[in-house]
Chains A and B, each alone.
Chain A
Amino acid sequence: MSVNKNIAYPPGGVLMWIIIYLELATFGMAMAALAFYGAADRINYHQDSLMLNKLLGTINTLFLLSGGFFAAYGVQTFKKNQFELSARYLLGSIFTGLGFLLLKIFEYQQKLASGLDMNYSPFFMNYWLLTGFHWIHVLVGVVILIFIRRTIVKNQQSASLEDIEAGVAFWHMCDLIWLLLFPLLYFLF
């Protein structure tokens, strides 16, 4: 979107930003509850937190950040009518998103094989719920990016910048949630 400082036209559209803030508020309240209960039962939450694989979590963060970077470039190049380049950057986002999803499945399998399911402890109940809902958001984000890219590739002239920005904004929202969720679950207890 071009520079438009009207309150009704944030980049990606006002509806997308309402969704973004609602999602941030929802995840924010859940994370605050996790921090609250974690503070009350510090030893058990710390022990459970140590069972998470920090390396996998860090690689997943790098996947999402790379995806966000490619998506931002995708919007920039689209604005300059460099449609092929834009589609290529969005493909990069899609692949990093898929990388995140697959690595998370691998991590989930490891946890289940070790018996660390939702009933194991309150920490793991929160872990499964928060990361599970986030995983679904990333999946939706990847599907949206696939559709956006398809529109750019097949119908360059009719692809609307607002649609592209809205789809990419959803993707960045997944980044934002993870940037708070990741340190809370993996590092802070």
Chain B
Amino acid sequence: MKNSLLYTFLILIILTILSASLSHFQLAKTGVIVIVIFAIIKFLLVGFQFLELQLAHKFWKVLFVIYSCLMAAVFIILL
């Protein structure tokens, strides 16, 4: 468990730095999609690993994933 928390944290840091680096370029639609996907991966990692959602009932997991997909869709379609 300790190792998985550490790996999760490292992935979160790497994705944050990648998003920040990517944003320095003129973003086309692909860049927007990549940044949104990175944000959603981070969102899911924090939820499932740090918040221990993987230990919860399926209902809470599904709700969380639906919310993530909904926000990703809103950002990608509108921006």
**Which chain A residues lie closer than 8 Å to B53 at the CB level?**
10-11
Bound form: Cα–Cα A30–B66 in Å? 18
Interface flags, B58-79, vs A, CB<8A=1, else 0: 1110010001001100110011
Q: Taking CB as reference atom, which chain A residue is nearest B79?
A: A188
**Which chain B residues lie closer than 8 Å to A169 at the CB level?**
51
Contact A35 B79 (CB under 8 A): yes
Contact A12 B79 (CB under 8 A): no
Residues facing B in A150-189 (CB within 8 A) are 165, 169, 172, 175-176, 179-180, 182-184, 186-189
Contact A4 B55 (CB under 8 A): yes
**Which chain B residues lie closer than 8 Å to A131 at the CB level?**
none
Contact A11 B55 (CB under 8 A): yes
Interface residue total, chain A, C-beta cutoff 8 A: 50
Contact A65 B35 (CB under 8 A): no
**Which chain B residues lie closer than 8 Å to A114 at the CB level?**
none
**Which chain A residues lie closer than 8 Å to B22 at the CB level?**
187
Within the complex, what minimum Cβ distance (angstroms) separates A80 from chain B? 10
Bound form: Cα–Cα A189–B70 in Å? 19
How many interface contacts (CB-CB < 8 Å) are there between A and B?
Answer: 121
Task: Choose from B32, B35, B38, B67 the contact partner of A24 (Cβ within 8 Å).
Answer: B67
**Which chain A residues lie closer than 8 Å to B63 at the CB level?**
21
Query: If the complex has contacts A3-B55, A10-B57, are A73 and B13 also in contact, measured as CB distance less than 8 A?
Result: no
Within the complex, what minimum Cβ distance (angstroms) separates B25 from chain A? 11
Contact B60 A17 (CB under 8 A): yes
Bound form: Cα–Cα A39–B13 in Å? 29
Q: 16 more A-B contacts (CB under 8 A) besides A39-B79, A62-B16? A: A10-B53, A11-B51, A11-B52, A21-B67, A24-B67, A38-B79, A61-B16, A65-B16, A73-B5, A169-B51, A176-B46, A176-B51, A179-B39, A179-B42, A180-B71, A183-B38
Pairs of residues from A and B, 8 with the lowest C-beta to C-beta distance, nearest first = A187-B23, A10-B56, A11-B52, A35-B78, A7-B57, A72-B50, A69-B9, A58-B20
